[in-house]
């Protein structure tokens, strides 16, 4: 499975925010840290706010803050929210795409099962498990994965 860059940067952003869960992060600050355009990051923030993972505030002293404690946010759920609308393969899209094998294909069920297993596996970990160090230059996780 290949995740979109949208999801990749969304996960990075959340990992950074989990390093200081009570702190507000500005779009400009995170965009600079990741070398992204503010517009791209704003779209990711908008999606994360829409699904209730972050809260955003405008104006001076505004920015984004985690809406819940990092230990309550499951990684598979994050990926599911960020990849919403991105089918693993064309035939798994809501409209079924232009697959000519539909009705006789025995692969679709297996792909759905594999995708579900992938997300379930990610849900064994939380955002707290992958939080970055409070120092953005230090990429070591704040807590170690013991699985």
Average pLDDT across the chain, whole number: 86
Residue 126 has pLDDT above 50, yes or no: yes
Q: Counting beta carbons within 10 angstroms of the beta carbon of residue 98, is it exposed (0 to 12), middle (13 to 18) or buried (19 or more)? A: exposed
23-33 exposure pattern, b = at least 16 Cβ within 10 A, e = fewer: ebbebeebbee
Q: Counting beta carbons within 10 angstroms of the beta carbon of residue 44, is it exposed (0 to 12), middle (13 to 18) or buried (19 or more)? A: buried
Domains annotated for the chain, with CATH where assigned, are 5-130 (1.10.10.10)
pLDDT in tens, 57-77: 887 778 999 999 999 999 999
> Rounded mean pLDDT of 16-41?
93
Contact 11, 53 (CB under 8 A): no
Return the structure tokens found at 132: 């970055």
Contact 53, 67 (CB under 8 A): yes
**Residue partners of 33: CB distance under 8 A and separation at least 6:** 16, 136
pLDDT in tens, 84-105: 878 777 777 777 677 777 677 8
pLDDT in tens, 105-124: 888 888 889 999 999 999 99
> In angstroms, how far apart are the furthest CA atoms of the chain?
58
Residue 73 DSSP SS3: coil
- Residue 129 vs residues 38, 88, 93, 141: alpha-carbon distances, Å: 27, 26, 31, 8
Return the structure tokens found at 11: 């996960």
Residue 19 DSSP SS3: coil
């Amino acid at each position: 499975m290949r995740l979109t860059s949208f999801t990749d940067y969304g996960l990075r952003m959340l990992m950074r925010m989990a390093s200081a869960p009570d702190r507000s992060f500005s779009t400009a600050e995170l965009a600079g840290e990741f070398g992204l355009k503010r517009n791209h990051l704003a779209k990711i923030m908008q999606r994360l706010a829409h699904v209730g993972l972050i809260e955003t505030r405008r104006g001076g002293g505004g920015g984004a803050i985690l809406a819940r404690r990092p230990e309550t946010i499951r990684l598979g759920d994050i990926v599911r929210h960020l990849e919403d609308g991105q089918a693993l393969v064309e035939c798994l899209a809501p409209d079924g795409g232009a697959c000519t094998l539909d009705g006789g294909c025995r692969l679709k069920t297996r792909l759905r099962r594999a995708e579900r297993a992938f997300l379930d596996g990610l849900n064994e970990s939380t955002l707290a498990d992958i939080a970055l160090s409070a120092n953005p230059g230090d990429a070591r996780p704040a807590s170690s994965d013991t699985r």
